[in-house]
Structures are given as structure tokens and as C-alpha cells.
Amino acid sequence: HPWETVTTAAMQKYPNPMNPSVVGVDVLDRHVDPSGKLHSHRLLSTEWGIPSIVKSLIGACRTKTYVQEHSVVDPVKKTMELKSSNISFTNLVSVDERLVYKPHPREPDKTILTQEAIISVKGVSLSSYLEGLMANTISSNANKGREALEWVINRLNAEIEEFTASARGTVRNSMAAAAFVEK
């Protein structure tokens, strides 16, 4: 898909069925900087499907984990960069992710995504096991991320089609009504 489509979809990525654990997205700040780039700071809330008995023990508010995301969109250079890091459990683990969307250099109807994640685990003896586990999850999530954007793009296209069809239907109906009245 072209870069503009992917970027628009990425801004509306959540909610989507591939990332059911993301339950909340809020924009904390958004501004266009002097060079024309759009900066957005967002807060993502995730809910991990903890059994309800555990929830009732520790309190529902504490089952949400939070991630903060900073994105920069440069409409001239056509790049979108997202950096996110967890703000919950930072005393245990840090997951920093960086994603960059750019138009494909040779195929203008396609977009290239590069994604990297840095995981640091603090003070846990099973650190290499956990890091391996998280690396697997993050790479399978990368695929999910692509599927999620496909889903959003399809949904946006369907909305446009639906809107066009209903607009056409409205015009036809009002023309039919006008014809009826004329008779």
C-alpha cells in the first residue's frame, strides 16, 4: 500500500482484532514543529486477560499496563517514525520499540517498515530465557502489526464505499421522489 495509506491507517491502528489487548489510546500531545513535522505523544493502555479472580484480588485498575508512544510524521520526506516504551513495570523490564515507515524506493505503491526492539530485563536471573521469549513475541507481533494495518485499511475502504453507495442511493431516492411528485 502507498505510504499515505499506511500512515493514515497507522494513526488509527487501535482497536483492531489482531491486538485485542490494547484497550485504550489517548493523545497526550500533538503539534506541528517549525519544520512541518507532526509530533504526537500517545498513551496506550493494555489489558492482558488476567483471570478475574486475580483481578478481584489486586484490583482492576492495576491490571492495565501502559505504553507511551512518540510518533513523528514528515509529509515532505514521507517518513513516519514511532518510538514506544513501556511506562509500567519499568523497575523490571524495559521494552523500547522503534518503527519507521517509508515509501518503497523502487515501487511507489508500497511502503517499507523497519522495526527494532530493545529489551532490557533488570535483576531477573532467567533474563536470557525471558528475553528470548519476548523477542519471539515481538517478531510475531511485527507480522500481526502488518495484518492489523491491512485490517484498518480494508475497514477504511469499506467505509468509503458504504458512504459512496449511500450517497448514490440518497440521490436516486430523491430523484425518484421528485419524478413522482412531478407526475
Partner 1 sequence: NSVGEACTELKREYDQCFNRWFAEKFLKGESAGDPCGQLFKRYQLCVQKAIKEKDIPIEGLEFMGPSKGKTENSS
Q: Using CB under 8 A as the criterion, which residues of the chain lie in contact with partner 1 when the complex forms?
A: 4, 7-8, 11-12, 15, 23-32, 36, 38, 41, 43, 45, 61, 66, 68, 73, 75-76, 87-88, 90
Q: Give the integer Cα–Cα distance in Å for 159 and 146.
A: 20
Q: How far is the CB of 104 from partner 1 (least distance, A)?
A: 17
Residue 14 near residue 34 (C-beta atoms within 8 A): no
Q: How far is the CB of 82 from partner 1 (least distance, A)?
A: 15
SS3 160: helix
Contacts of 23 (CB under 8 A, 6+ apart): 15, 45, 46, 47, 64
Least Cα distance to 75 among 109, 39, 50, 45 occurs for: 39
Q: Give the integer Cα–Cα distance in Å for 147 and 18.
A: 7
Q: How far is the CB of 26 from partner 1 (least distance, A)?
A: 5
Nearer to partner 1, 89 or 129 (CB): 89
Nearer to partner 1, 8 or 115 (CB): 8
Q: How far is the CB of 70 from partner 1 (least distance, A)?
A: 9
Nearer to partner 1, 24 or 132 (CB): 24
